[in-house]
Chain A
Amino acid sequence: MTTALSLLDRWVIRSWRAGIVLSIAVLWEASGRLHWADPDLLPPLSQIFQMLGRLLADGRFRGDIMVTVAECIAAFTIVVPLGLVSGFALGESTRLYRMFGPALQLLMTVPKSIFLPVFILLFGIDFSQKVIFAVVLSYFIVVPTGIAAVQSISADLVTMARSFGATRRQIYWRLYLPSAMPLILSGVRLGLIFSMHGIIFAEMYASSEGIGRSILNWGESFDMVRLFAAVLMVLVVTVILNESLQAIENLFRSRFKLGLAG
């Protein structure tokens, strides 16, 4: 289905997409001004943007953003290497896979958010507790991508490299890494996304600071304008991050089109 699209085609498609997003924005604004929906519940978009501007100038709000960002970065930098290395180990060694594989599968089917109360009982509601929770949540998402990355490497390619005298180290760095790059990158992207999910949820559930907490508070006090402003900001930032990482992933993917015979 994905045939090579001409440049014109690509821009037409992008404009259609932009058009869809813009129409939603326009309808939103119209609904606010023309009172299609209760403007207290669905404020016009312009009002929300204005509020966002004010919030970003506010020190307290910026402080919350910093806390959330710091938590996300901490969780991300822990879970991605940890998860990928675990995945590599499990993918390479059938022994380890048989030992831990079933436990992994089991834990993946469980909604791990339910353990958050236990984390709170054990660690309180501070920075580290949220980070640990997010790490545990995203760990089980990153590990399978690590496994898939290792399994995607063709055994024949390794034989070929061996026949030309490649050492183990050379095989790892020159063969495994480039060949598994697209999947490794998707592991990075998923690690980031699920870390963010975990952090924000933990903040909303029980925290004294952070964007998630503010969002929940504004929701409870029906301060819809601030609520939407923060929500919109989170949505936009997440989409930008996801799309950038996805674009990098696609770049690698197109160069590694036919991993095996090439």
Chain B
Amino acid sequence: MNILRKIFITLMVLAAWELLAWGGFLNPLLIGTPSMIVRAAMKDGVTLLVALRFTFMEILIAGMIAWISGVIAGVIIGARVRTAVIVSPLLSAMIAVPLVVLYPVIVAWTGIGPISKIIYGAATGFFPIALTTISGVSAIDQRYVDMARAMGANRFQIRFQVIARLALPAIMSGLRVGSSLVVIAVVQSEMLSATDGLGFWISYHRALFNVGQVYFGIGLVLVLAAGLNVLLNACENSLKIAHR
């Protein structure tokens, strides 16, 4: 019942939107109407969907690189109090900085293809993931480590079986933050200069005042963000189950 109500309300809003534009209350060139979006979808939908996949792949690869390198770096740095204390502020400083200024540098080095987006996205995601991993590892009760050593575990076993597991909640929250930053980075960089991808096409259509395509593209980005969120939740849940 609740779902039906929500659908009804959404349809009403869309209809009102369309009528307002028709009646001249909203400038269709600026605001756009639902019918324009539908027409845009039919015309350029395929290109945009391909762009969706393109962007998704960039995010996935950049994310994986950021995750893996971030967690490894975090575990290594966080293992010793000294290194953690020395390095952490440097990493958090990098998060505070608008890394987007580095993007033109990366483009100058690697061109405007997907490689630049992946590198930039991975760099953006690396720092928060490493930082939260470090704090997760540092917060581990030393007594667990001592206990493991007393039971005869060697350094590798301690690191990956004890430390990694105990730091898991912190690592997971770091992955969440890191992922959202990667998404933002990839989308932003595509908007600035690219050959393909949703950011690129949205900008392209904006320049041509194809309002319908712009909104459709934005809608696809929202779908992408939602999809990635679902993926992340699934990851989290499966990790939680596996590491009971």
Contact = CB atoms under 8 A, between A and B. Distances in A.
- Classify A-B as touching or not with yes or no (CB < 8 A): yes
Interface of A: 1, 5, 13, 16-17, 20-21, 41, 109-111, 113-118, 120-122, 193, 196-197, 200-201, 204-205, 212, 215-216, 218-220, 222, 224, 227-228, 230-231, 234-235, 238-239, 242-243
Interface string B74-102: 00000001101111011001001110111
B187 interface: yes
Given A13-B86, A121-B29, A220-B193, 8 more contacts: A5-B85, A109-B229, A114-B191, A114-B198, A121-B211, A122-B31, A224-B105, A239-B93
B218 interface: yes
Contacts of A122: 30-31
Nearest to B96: A242
Contacts of B226: 109
Given A1-B81, A120-B206, A238-B96, A110 B102 contact: no
Given A17-B86, A111-B183, A231 B102 contact: yes
Contact of A215 (B29, B30, B101, B198): B101
| B interface bracket (residues with beta carbon within 8 Å of A) | 35 or more
Contacts of B90: 17, 20-21
A231 B235 CA distance: 36
A16 B89 CA distance: 12
Contacts of B107: 219
B105 A114 contact: no
Interface residues of chain B: helix, strand, loop or mixed (majority)? helix
Nearest to B78: A1
A114 B199 contact: yes
Nearest to B226: A109
Interface in B208-227: 209, 211, 214-215, 218, 221-222, 225-226
Contacts of B98: 193, 196-197, 200-201, 234, 238
B108 A222 contact: yes
Given A111-B187, A122-B30, A17 B89 contact: yes
Nearest to A230: B101
A197 B105 contact: no
